[in-house]
Amino acid sequence: MLRREFIKKSALMASALAFVEPMARAKSPNQNDPALLFLARSSYGVKRQDYKKIKKIGIKAYLEEQLDYKNIEDSLADKKMLGLSILNLERRELYSLQNSGPRASQALLNAFITRRVYSQKQLFEKMVEFWSDHFNIPSEVQSEEIVIFQREVIRKNALGNFKTMLFATAKSPAMLQYLDNANNIAEHPNENYARELMELHSLGVDGGYSEHDVKDVARAFTGWTINDSTKDGFIFEGIDHDKDEKLILGHHLPANRGIEDGLHVLNILANHPSTAHYISFKLCRKFIADNPPESIVNKLAEIYIKEKAEIKPILRALFSSEEFYASSGQKLRRPLDFLIASLRATNSEIYDNWLLEQTLMDLDQVPFGWHPPDGYPDLAQKWATTNGLLNRWKVANMLSFQSSSTDEYGLYGDLMANHKNLSELKTVKDLVEELSTQIFGTVLAEDRLEPFVNFASDNAGANEPVNKFLLA
């Protein structure tokens, strides 16, 4: 193996395994740097310019910029998204297209990767992924419906209000179809949506509901169904609604009502203390640790109740907590996070659809590919397998050896595309430090750099002059 190839591949794999401390006992590069920890968790990989900015303005100001995502200039991502205008079409327009399903499916996949690689709205995209898992709808549902669900439900509310989003999911044709509520009628009630609504979307499995609650919630949502004659595809069919009284979580729903029953249930669930705790726990699992301290979960749950389910105040508290900054090494990047971080770090782009899909399949995390309603797991034990880590090595190998300025492999990449003038790199140590900054956003500690320096210099030392072969 050539030394330049070793440097590239080793840097990528350091990135891949940087956050596996509990399993591999490796010190992550952000061990003693709060700014790096914040960027690593709130984005899809640290970029040099982001690290410089956060060190200049501070974590608090940087977080506020990310929360105010609508005012972030995002021209590069917008430009990359121009060819995916199908995602902006209304529901009826989508269905009128020839081959609308496959086209929508491909656009969803490409957009998912493109936005996360190129967007400056990194925390927003992280939250879109979080809520997409929380309200999981897999690709077996019609792709046209997922386009609308992603745009009008998830992306519209990702940093807004959880209660508003919960109401929107209940009326979404995608959710009505996936969890069978479109077929839930008074004569033949279907409990699937009612059960998942409480277990996965709001209260949590230990949220204190009973089988009686499941049955009466199902009755409350009878008549909520799909009708293509309406603009958004939702309709309430009063003739199919169970109008008898209901008792749900201690709340009495009187008889002879209509759509108000379902709206009442959603209001009960959104304001319930168990929902506050469950949503807070899942956010802490996402950003802090697989088993986060109960202290921070309870703190966020209190904020959820106080702020009436507003998402931004919860994130402010999470990212300013002692528990967050004590959590270095406690989260393993999921495969999709690793791929996106690697693409960002190496300035690579997979523009061949087959190669992109195959890579995601190899990593076992295809967007919209998790079929149960609970979404992709966010636990290290799911991903830290021999096969899982081997597949990360394979991706690193692909990005190291196949990326080039040609289209031979359907992959373009230039690890050094954004670094300073090559003439300024005088020594091997200069080069290794530059690559470290490109991958991690900053220079690693001396003990982490030493093996790379020794190999790149053929043990001649850190001051060995850079030659053209190392820069090729």
- For 76-134, the pLDDT digits (tens) are 999 999 999 999 999 999 999 999 999 999 999 999 999 999 999 999 999 999 999 99
- pLDDT for 382: 94
Q: Is 293 contained in some domain? A: yes
- What residue numbers bound the domain in which 290 lies? 273-325
More confident residue, 170 or 445: 170
> What pLDDT does 454 receive?
83
Where in 181-334 does DSSP place strands (E)? 224-226, 234-236, 246-248, 251-253
Whether 258 is covered by a domain: the verdict is: no
Most confident range (mean pLDDT) of 32-46, 165-179, 338-352, 381-395 is 165-179
Question: Taking residues 187-216, what's their average pLDDT?
Answer: 98
For residue 59, being part of any structural domain is answered with no
Give domain status of residue 216, yes or no. no
pLDDT at residue 20 greater than cutoff 50? no
Q: In the predicted model, is pLDDT for residue 232 greater than 50?
A: yes
pLDDT of residue 176: 98
In a domain, 380, yes or no: no
pLDDT band (50, 70, 90) for residue 312: very high
- Among 159-173, 285-299, 408-422, the range scoring the smallest mean pLDDT is 408-422
Average pLDDT over residues 185-214: 98
Asked if pLDDT for residue 455 goes beyond 90, the answer is no
Q: What is the pLDDT of residue 19?
A: 41
pLDDT, averaged across the chain? 89
Instruction: Kindly indicate the confidence band of residue 24, based on its pLDDT and cuts at 50, 70 and 90.
Output: very low
Do 241 and 186 form a contact (C-beta atoms < 8 A)? yes
Answer with the residue of higher pLDDT: 445 or 277.
277
Residue 279 covered by a domain? yes
Pick the residue with more confidence: 96 or 139?
96
Residue 230 is predicted with a pLDDT of 92
Query: What's the average model confidence in pLDDT over 401-422?
Result: 56
The answer to which of 129-143, 336-350, 372-386, 416-430 has the lowest mean pLDDT is: 416-430
Domain count, the chain: 2
Rounded to an integer, the average pLDDT of 307-322 is 99
Confidence of residue 428 (pLDDT cuts 50, 70, 90): confident
Indicate the residue among 306, 325, 344 that finishes a domain.
325
Mean pLDDT within 256-268: 99
Predicted confidence band at 397 (pLDDT cuts at 50, 70, 90)?
confident
Residue 97 lies in a domain: no
Looking at 293, 309, 325, the residue that finishes a domain is 325
pLDDT of residue 432 exceeding 70, the answer is yes
pLDDT given at position 4: 54
What mean pLDDT is predicted for residues 141-150? 95
pLDDT of amino acid 442: 72
Greater pLDDT, 390 or 238? 238
Determine what percent of the chain is predicted with pLDDT higher than 70. Answer: 86
pTM: 0.90
Among 281, 297, 325, the domain-final residue is: 325
Q: Is the pLDDT of residue 17 over 60?
A: no
**Where is mean pLDDT largest: 29-38, 40-49, 220-229, 445-454?**
220-229
Q: Mean pLDDT throughout 199-221?
A: 98
**Over pLDDT 90: what percentage of the chain?**
69
- Is 90 inside any structural domain? no
pLDDT number for residue 350: 81
Three-state SS sequence of the chain: CCHHHHHHHHHHHHHHCCCCHHHHCCCCCCCCCHHHHHHHHHCCCCCHHHHHHHHHHCHHHHHHHHHCHHHCCCHHHHHHCHHHHHHHCCHHHHHHCCCHHHHHHHHHHHHHHHHHHHCCCHHHHHHHHHHHHHCCCCCCCCHHHHHHHHHHHHHHHCCCEHHHHHHHHHHCHHHHHHCCHHHCECCECCCHHHHHHHHHHCCCCCCCCCHHHHHHHHHHCCCEEECCCCCCCEEECHHHCCCCCEEECCEEECCCCCCHHHHHHHHHHHCCHHHHHHHHHHHHHHHCCCCCCHHHHHHHHHHHHHCCCEHHHHHHHHHCCHHHHCCCCCCCCCHHHHHHHHHHHCCCEECCHHHHHHHHHHHCCCCCCCCCCCCCCCCHHHHCCHHHHHHHHHHHHHHHHCCECCCCCCEECCCCCCCCCHHHCCEHHHHHHHHHHHHHCCCCCHHHHHHHHHHHCCCCCCCCECCHHHHC
Q: Average pLDDT for residues 20-33, to the nearest whole number?
A: 50
Q: Over range 345-367, report the average pLDDT.
A: 87
